[in-house]
Amino acid sequence: MNQQDIHAAAAILWRHWQRTTRIDALPARCRPGTRAEAYAIQAEVAKLSGMSRFGWKIAATSAAGQQHVQVDGPMAGSLLSGRALEAGASVSLAGNNMKVAEAEFAFRMGAPLPRRSESYSVAEVLAAVATLHPAIEVPDSRYSDFTRVGVAQLIADVACACWYMIGPATSADWRAIDLAQHVVKAFRNGALAGQGSGANVLGDPRAALAWVANELCAHGEGLRAGDVVMTGTCLTPLPVSAGDQVRMDFGELGRLEVAFA
């Protein structure tokens, strides 16, 4: 793909994002065929948005999630600053095709992990983390059927990014907690509606964080100090409707609420 193709694809995706409309697929002339091309389109979408990058999200971190969207591994997506929600906020589901909420561990980087040829270890990545936060994602896609377009088109579409909420940094000693076994519960309108654990996030959210650090070394400039990384949903995405109130309870690590309109 040349820069004109990359821009054309990004312009289509950003237009549909703004209008909350859908396409079946990107036109063949500007459809990415590789992860590298897809991340180039994603970066152009972020540029067209005029928003700064707050950090990154990881999509398809569970085997069930990968099977659902027919991909063979996770994907990274930019978190755009203008799509952040304040804790306790209400978000409209108008035009949202997915209509789900996800509970995620989010890490804020205290030190950069710049691009290099050697892979970063989990220990190296954790040493660069400043704080851990509970988080909620409300994803969406610009494709009519996001389960059939393939990994490259999904990455180009910012890995199904839409809205996200990052809670306060936990005051708990999270480094002493086995995040893979840590249980997270979802409550919808006061009733328990689902639960899961960090094991659903590539086996461990810390491993997912290392994955994205290395993915961004291969297809970007690495992680910056201050970047926040949402590592993927700990539980089966929770279906939501207008009028629902959702609370994600991370136990001693904190809790977050979001309302849907």
Residue 181 has pLDDT above 90, yes or no: yes
Place of tokens 């000693």: 173
Give the pLDDT score at 81: 97
Q: Does residue 21 belong to any structural domain of this protein?
A: no
pLDDT digits (tens, 9 = 90+) for 57-103: 999 998 889 998 999 899 999 999 999 999 999 999 999 999 999 99
User: Using 50, 70 and 90 to split pLDDT, how confident is the model at 155?
Assistant: very high
Q: Does residue 216 belong to any structural domain of this protein?
A: yes
Contact call for residues 222 and 112 (beta carbons, < 8 A): yes
Q: Does residue 15 belong to any structural domain of this protein?
A: no
Mean pLDDT (the chain) is 97
| Cut 0.95: pTM above it | yes
What's the number of domains the chain is made of?
1
Q: Does residue 18 belong to any structural domain of this protein?
A: no
Q: Does residue 162 belong to any structural domain of this protein?
A: yes
Instruction: Give every CB contact of residue 129 below 8 A, 6+ residues apart in sequence.
Output: 107, 108, 109, 110, 209
| Parent domain of 86 | 51-260
Give the pLDDT score at 64: 87
Q: Does residue 9 belong to any structural domain of this protein?
A: no
Q: Does residue 38 belong to any structural domain of this protein?
A: no
Q: Does residue 43 belong to any structural domain of this protein?
A: no
User: Using 50, 70 and 90 to split pLDDT, how confident is the model at 140?
Assistant: very high
User: Using 50, 70 and 90 to split pLDDT, how confident is the model at 224?
Assistant: very high
pLDDT digits (tens, 9 = 90+) for 184-219: 999 999 999 999 999 999 999 999 999 999 999 999
Residue 206's CATH number = 3.90.850.10
Give 22-28 contacts, CB < 8 A, sequence gap 24+: 22/97, 22/141, 22/142, 22/143, 22/144, 23/142, 23/143, 23/144, 24/143, 24/144, 24/145, 25/143, 25/149, 25/153, 26/153, 26/156
Mean pLDDT of 114-133: 98
pLDDT digits (tens, 9 = 90+) for 229-258: 999 999 999 999 999 999 999 999 999 999
Give the pLDDT score at 119: 97
DSSP states along 118-182: SPPPHHHHHHTEEEEEEEEEE---SBTTTTSS-HHHHHHTGGG--EEEE-PPP-S-GGGS-TTT-
